[in-house]
């Protein structure tokens, strides 16, 4: 058994230091059992470059090799930066509740009208492999030897980035356990809010949080990734990710008034299993969620839980900034599917039914749940999905509901335009002209227009009601 830890920290200052800068670090390398802690404090005006890299590795001919890493950097070209950072490492067979790497970072930045901006990034990773052997004692990572009864490996990475920031308060916490008596685990959380000392109501800039992961247990291979990008005036951003032992949970919350807001997540799980008698099963579970908003105010809460199955809850609301004709586009897709064959030994195997093969054959099956919206200016939405962990068939549940804000029609009538003053409102995005975007708004908000008490204001074919024929009429008038 051997433990390795490598640490590097660098700081460069090019201006006047207003406060105190301290750094303490002890970094043993190639030590069987080691620990250290690092603390730094920065309070300065002017350009700063600060970087930290830590890699810890546990190598063994036993059952559980693994590694963890932490990287971060902070760069400014001007402005006032205050940063506190602690980093701790402990190796050896740590107790169940102890993590190998623990990080905490808090910073505030204010441009103070100097034109200065902040760029920062942070990432934390876990890599772990487990092998269980029979009584012969044979063990290898992802071994193909028949004596291996179970193999599993997983890699998880989580991080965040700040770009073009002029005012912000940022804090993060990270923890990794890759050796010891407990299961491997990773935790990473980020919180962004306005810098109260600046007197501003919003943080200003672009904040990105993201994750990737991959697991394999000899039968099921799972991959996932996602990121949230919020740019503009930010009320708050919160993301918490916990993972390890084949489980991932991501909780996202944010509120912003921005020029660009993007949120996307993807998960794909597939398995292939062969058993005695040449029975074969293949299957897959897929989740995709994506949201893009421009020129408006977005509030969202999202909870994703992946533990072999899929369970999600997503709530968001959006209101357009009328001067920017803002819209939101969102989609979500959940898929569960598979193929299965059960044949007599020696008769061969196929994914789809073969009329020449003996036995009980079942072909392809798939279930899909989805939501899609395009170019919506005002809406509140809630979706949930569930795919059982133990299922080996196409089984899922998916629900979605959409609620237009209170007084939707009166708010809508204030933001649409009557181009030719005939009492019929065709300029739905109020940009003083009829264009394709007006058609999209009419289509995506059809039910709200139809149920509105003022629906006759959109009666383009003059039949005293609003119906699909009005959508066709408006399109043909382009």
Does residue 154 sit in the same domain as residue 206? yes
Q: How far apart are CA 277 and CA 432, in angstroms?
A: 70
Return the pLDDT at 76: 93
Return the pLDDT at 71: 92
Rounded to whole angstroms, what are the CA distances from 147 to 136, 140, 194, 380? 8, 10, 57, 55
Does residue 211 sit in the same domain as residue 306? no
Q: Are 87 and 54 in contact (CB under 8 A)?
A: yes
Return the pLDDT at 224: 87
Does residue 135 sit in the same domain as residue 94? yes
Helix (H, G, I), strand (E, B) or coil at 355: coil
How many structural domains does the chain have?
A: 3
Q: Which of 165, 199, 192, 193 is nearest to 74 (CA)?
A: 165
Return the pLDDT at 285: 84
Does residue 289 sit in the same domain as residue 326? yes
Does residue 228 sit in the same domain as residue 320? no
Does residue 250 lie within any of the structural domains?
no
Does residue 413 lie within any of the structural domains?
no
Does residue 412 lie within any of the structural domains?
no
Does residue 441 sit in the same domain as residue 391? no
Please report which confidence band the pLDDT of residue 30 belongs to, taking 50, 70 and 90 as the band edges. very low
Does residue 23 lie within any of the structural domains?
yes
Please report which confidence band the pLDDT of residue 187 belongs to, taking 50, 70 and 90 as the band edges. very high
DSSP conformation letters of 189-210: EEEEE--GGGT-SSEEEEEEEE
Q: How far apart are CA 79 and CA 463, in angstroms?
A: 63
Return the pLDDT at 421: 83
Does residue 35 lie within any of the structural domains?
yes
Does residue 258 lie within any of the structural domains?
no
Comparing 154-158, 268-272, 362-366, 434-438, which segment has the lowest mean pLDDT?
A: 362-366
Rounded to whole angstroms, what are the CA distances from 472 to 442, 452, 459, 460, 476? 10, 19, 11, 9, 6
Please report which confidence band the pLDDT of residue 411 belongs to, taking 50, 70 and 90 as the band edges. very low
Does residue 109 sit in the same domain as residue 151? yes
Return the pLDDT at 163: 95
Residue 304, CB half-sphere, CA atoms under 13 Å: how many? 26
The residue among 403, 432, 467 that closes a domain is 403
Q: Are 288 and 332 in contact (CB under 8 A)?
A: yes
Q: How far apart are CA 98 and CA 92, in angstroms?
A: 11
Does residue 431 sit in the same domain as residue 374? no
Q: Output 201 or 64, whichever has higher pLDDT.
A: 201
State yes or no: pLDDT of 79 exceeds 90: yes
pLDDT single digits (tens) 122-134:
999 998 876 544 4
Return the pLDDT at 396: 84
Return the pLDDT at 2: 43
| Residues above pLDDT 90, as percent of the chain | 22
Does residue 132 sit in the same domain as residue 192? yes
Q: Are 76 and 162 in contact (CB under 8 A)?
A: no
Paired strand residues for 324: none
Q: How far apart are CA 38 and CA 478, in angstroms?
A: 65
State yes or no: pLDDT of 313 exceeds 80: yes
Which structural domain, as residue segments, surrounds residue 210?
Answer: 1-245
Residue with tokens 């058993």: 275
Comparing 22-26, 92-96, 453-457, 471-475, which segment has the lowest mean pLDDT?
A: 22-26
Does residue 131 sit in the same domain as residue 222? yes
Q: Which among 349-353, 376-380, 389-393 has the top mean pLDDT? A: 376-380
pLDDT single digits (tens) 215-250:
887 667 788 888 888 988 999 999 999 988 778 899
Does residue 150 sit in the same domain as residue 280? no
Does residue 382 lie within any of the structural domains?
yes
The residue among 376, 403, 430 that closes a domain is 403
Does residue 254 lie within any of the structural domains?
no
The residue among 245, 278, 307 that closes a domain is 245
Q: Output 194 or 309, whichever has higher pLDDT.
A: 194
Q: How far apart are CA 106 and CA 172, in angstroms?
A: 7
Q: Are 211 and 242 in contact (CB under 8 A)?
A: no
Return the pLDDT at 180: 60
Q: How far apart are CA 438 and CA 446, in angstroms?
A: 12
State yes or no: pLDDT of 339 exceeds 80: no
Paired strand residues for 462: none
Does residue 45 sit in the same domain as residue 156? yes
């Amino acid at each position: 058994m051997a433990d390795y830890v490598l640490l590097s920290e660098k700081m460069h200052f090019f201006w006047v230091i207003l406060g105190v800068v301290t750094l303490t670090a002890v970094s043993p390398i190639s030590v069987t059992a080691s620990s250290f802690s690092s603390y730094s404090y920065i309070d300065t005006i002017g350009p700063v470059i600060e970087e930290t890299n830590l890699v810890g590795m546990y190598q063994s001919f036993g059952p559980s090799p693994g590694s963890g890493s932490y990287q971060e950097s902070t760069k400014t070209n001007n402005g006032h930066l205050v940063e506190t950072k602690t980093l701790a490492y402990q190796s050896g067979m740590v107790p169940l509740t102890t993590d190998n790497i623990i990080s905490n970072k808090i910073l505030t930045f204010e441009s103070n009208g100097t034109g200065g901006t902040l760029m920062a990034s942070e990432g934390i990773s876990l890599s772990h492999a487990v092998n269980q052997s029979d009584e012969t004692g044979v063990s290898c990572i992802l071994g193909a030897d028949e004596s291996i009864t179970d193999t599993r490996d997983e890699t998880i990475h989580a991080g965040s980035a700040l770009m073009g920031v002029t005012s912000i308060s940022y804090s993060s916490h990270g923890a990794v356990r890759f050796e010891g008596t407990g299961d491997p685990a990773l935790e990473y959380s980020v919180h962004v809010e306005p810098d109260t000392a600046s007197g501003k109501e919003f943080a200003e800039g672009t904040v990105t949080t993201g994750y990737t992961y991959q697991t394999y247990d000899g039968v099921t291979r799972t991959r996932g990734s996602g990121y949230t990008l919020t740019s503009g005036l930010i009320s708050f951003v919160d993301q918490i990710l916990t993972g390890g032992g084949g489980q991932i949970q991501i909780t996202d919350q944010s509120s912003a008034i921005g020029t660009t807001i993007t949120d996307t997540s993807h998960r794909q799980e597939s398995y292939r299993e062969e058993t005695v008698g040449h029975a074969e099963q293949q299957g897959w579970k897929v989740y995709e969620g994506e949201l893009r908003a421009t020129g408006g105010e977005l509030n969202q809460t999202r909870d994703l839980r992946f533990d072999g199955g899929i369970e999600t809850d997503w709530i968001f609301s959006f209101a357009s900034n009328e001067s920017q004709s803002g819209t939101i586009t969102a989609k979500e897709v959940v898929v569960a599917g598979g193929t299965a064959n059960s044949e007599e030994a020696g008769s061969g195997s196929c994914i789809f039914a073969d009329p020449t093969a003996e036995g009980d054959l079942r072909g392809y099956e798939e279930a899909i749940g989805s939501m899609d919206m395009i170019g919506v200016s005002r809406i509140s939405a809630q979706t949930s999905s569930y795919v059982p962990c133990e299922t080996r068939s196409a089984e899922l549940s998916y629900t979605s509901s959409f609620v237009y804000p209170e007084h939707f029609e009166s708010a809508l009538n204030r933001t649409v335009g009557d181009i030719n003053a005939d009492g019929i409102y065709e300029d739905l995005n109020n940009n003083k002209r009829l264009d394709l975007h007006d058609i999209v708004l009419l289509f995506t908000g059809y039910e709200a227009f139809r149920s509105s008490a003022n629906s006759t204001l959109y009666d383009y074919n003059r039949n005293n009601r609003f119906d699909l024929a009005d959508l066709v009429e408006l399109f043909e008038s382009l």
